[in-house]
Every structure is written in C-alpha cells, then in structure tokens.
Structure 1
C-alpha cells in the first residue's frame, strides 16, 4: 500500500497541473472572445497568415498592379445607373517585424495610386470621369501576444509553431485625393480605425 500512494499522488499532481494549464488557456481565450464581442461593429480582413510568427528584424517590400473593368453595381439608393468603369491601380507597401513585450510584432504601411475612367447616367444625363489620385494610406500594427515569442532568424529556424493568438490595429489616414464635388474619388475623406 505504501508504494501505491506516492504514485497516486504524482498522478493527481500531473492532472492538476494539466487542468491548471488548460484553465489558464481557456480564460485567456474567453477574455479575447469577450473583448471581440463587446464592440459594436465587427469586420474581418481576409489576409492569410497575418498572425503567423516571423523572425524579428525582417523587412518586406510589396509592389503590385491591378486592373479592373466592367459594370459597377451601385447601392439601391444611389441616383446613378448604367455605371461602366475602368480602374488601374499601382500598389506599394512596406512591413517591418520587431519585438513588442518579448512577442513577435509587425508594422506595415500601404498606399496605392489609382487611375480610373468611366461613365454613368445621373438624373437622365450621361456623365464621364477620367482622373488619377492616391488612395488613403493605411498603417497597421500587429502583435502576437500568445504563442509567438520574438526570435532572431537563427532562433526561428529551430522553433516549432503552435497556437498563436494576436491582435491588430489598422488606421487609414484621410490624405488621399478627394474632391467633394466629384462622385468618384481615390480617397474617402474619413479616418478609419479597424481592430481585429
């Protein structure tokens, strides 16, 4: 009997430690979920792997081009119809990874220059547009506060990723081209704050 008791005690300690670890993770996950549910409006940015851990001190540059043409479907209350639009956009962005509180973080900045031409019918009259302008730049801070330690590239090579939980704040600054007398604008003339 004396040999069984210590083993039984160790098993209980092991179960207690596992339960305590799971309970801590559960409380953390519940806190994050409640923080997300309390806000009034929700949105999702569909950028794959945006919270993946990356080594600190990395720099990324993005250059891109997009072309779109065709009919635009305005909202039902808009006084325009038969909208045809051609859009050309050049996109540029920069990102830098760093440590914030010992965890992996990233800041990225993006802006694009848009040229568009098209036509629509407004109050029975055909109107046309042909102009270019810069969009409002966006700045985003991403912080992986759980499961993503800040690692150098050498340390990162031998690290195995598990569950990562993070958050981000994106701010869009209204300095893009905007003219209140125009129906189409590259800028939006408003601040936008997005928290994920």
Structure 2
C-alpha cells in the first residue's frame, strides 16, 4: 500500500500551510496504491492478512512546480492492517477486503509544530477478476472501494489521520507475463470525493474534484518465491476548493519505487520497498521512503 501523506499543503505562509493540512487531513496520492503482483488472483477459499509499515519524510514544499520559500517538514509513520478473502461469484474470482490505516503524522512549518496519531478512515471493497488465466499468465480485474469517514479527526488540529469525508475509489488492473522471467502490471484509478464540512478551525467546506492515478510495475522473477520490481506512479487532477474558492492545487506528481519480495515460509511473504518523488507540481515532495510489508496466506 501506498503511504499516507499530505497532498494538499500548498500555500506560501505558515498559517495557510497549517490550515491546508487541517482542511485536507492526511491522504493517499494514489488512493489505493497497489503492490506488484496484487492483481494476480488467488484460488477461491484463500484468505490473506497483510500488515504494512510505511515511513516517509518530506522537507520541500512545491506550488506550481516551484519550491515554496518556507521551512516546512512533514513526517509520517503509517501502518495499514488489511484482510482479504478470495471467493467465487458466478464463476468469477472476487476478493472482499477491509483496510484500516493507523499511525503518526508530524508537521513543522516555520517553527510551528503539529502532530496527530490514531486510526484513519477504513476502506471496504474488493476486486472482481474478469480475466483469470494463471496458465497464460494473464489477469484483468476491476476494483471498487469506499472510504468511510470514521477515522480520528478534529477540525482544530493542524493535521489529521482521518479526513471527515466519504470517498469512492475505482481501479482496474491488467497483469501479463513477458517471457519466463518478467511480469508487467498496468493499473488505472480514479477517485470521487465527498465534502469535508468541518475543515479547519473555521469549519469551512472543503470539496475536491475527481483525481486520477496510473501505475506500472515491471517485475523480474528471481525464483518461484522471490521477485524484484520497479514501479512508477503518476497522480493528477484532484483540485480542491475551500468555501467555493479554488486552491489552485491540482496534482501532477510522479514517483518511483523499488521492491524486493520473498516467501520466507510457504505461507509468509516479506516485502521491502524504497523510493521517492520524481516531480511534484503541488504539495510536499517526498524524500526517500521505506515500506515494509508482512503477508500471511491462510
């Protein structure tokens, strides 16, 4: 899973940066960032529990592609607990899921500090595979998730784990083999946002336009139980309005991620990832990040 981070903190003064963080909360850029291999269906009856630990640091704030001249730092230590169950529905494989984020966020802007910890907005949904051909190394699935506004949120805080709004996320993913050793994953995503009507201390109304994401993962299969992968993420759209006033913060951001994953036991996989931003038009630029994932199949 993708780490949770501020993608809306865009202004040129400490006060408005803090207001923006409070208004938008801590959110995904890719709303459902998918790891290499996640769109390969498992057999019906299989379940999986996944724990993600994600650490990010940001020390450069950008607006319209330019560095904002303010000393701003954002640090996130986020975990995600995910439960997945594969089942057959009308001859197709589907995987209902529950994702619960939690963790700590620390923001410092021009010497003014703020932090938040707790549980984020849970997501419920899953994927339906319209193509599931393991023997041909081909899969195609469509996913739908809903983010429930149940996470920790306080409009008087400068940062939040929860977002105090509904979200609907749609995603489609295609996986194909490239010879014996390579796999290619291609994904597209869009998200629709409800309003946060308690944004900041003034309880302003925050609305957001539809956002979009593209992902590509190229995997090299070291063995039947291990792989490395290089991933690319591109996020765009999602401009926000505060009380009807455009914030001129449309995303056009991309980043890379390197993955190593291996099964240390027949049903236990460990995964390590590292990466960072390539370019950010609006928001915090991500310094090197580290993600850990533990997956248990049962």
**Scaled by the length of structure 1, what TM-score is found?**
0.60
5+ unaligned residues in a row in structure 1: which ranges?
Answer: 1-42, 149-158
Alignment of 1:36-115 (within 5 A): 45-73=33-61, 75=63, 81-115=70-104
Deviations for 1:59-104, whole angstroms, at most 9, x for unmatched residues? 101113222234152556xx99321123222221111000111111
8 Å CA contact 2:32–2:169 kept in 1: the answer is no
Change (3 A) 1:46 1:63: closer
More strand by share: 2
Q: Give the Cα–Cα distance (whole angstroms) in 2 for the partners of residues 180 and 64 of structure 1.
A: 27
Following superposition, the deviation at residue 111 of structure 1 comes to 1.5
Is 2:143 aligned against 1:168? Answer: yes
| Aligned equivalent of 1:193, options 157, 160, 168 | 168
Is 2:128 aligned against 1:143? Answer: yes
Secondary structure of 2:39 counterpart: coil
Following superposition, the deviation at residue 185 of structure 1 comes to 0.8
Q: Bigger radius of gyration, 1 or 2?
A: 1
Q: Report the RMSD for the aligned CA atoms in angstroms.
A: 2.6
* Aligned length, in residue pairs: 138
Following superposition, the deviation at residue 175 of structure 1 comes to 0.8
The equivalent residue for 1:27 is: none
Change (3 A) 1:167 1:72: same
The equivalent residue for 1:181 is: 156
8 Å CA contact 1:74–1:81 kept in 2: the answer is no
Q: Give the Cα–Cα distance (whole angstroms) in 2 for the partners of residues 90 and 117 of structure 1.
A: 15
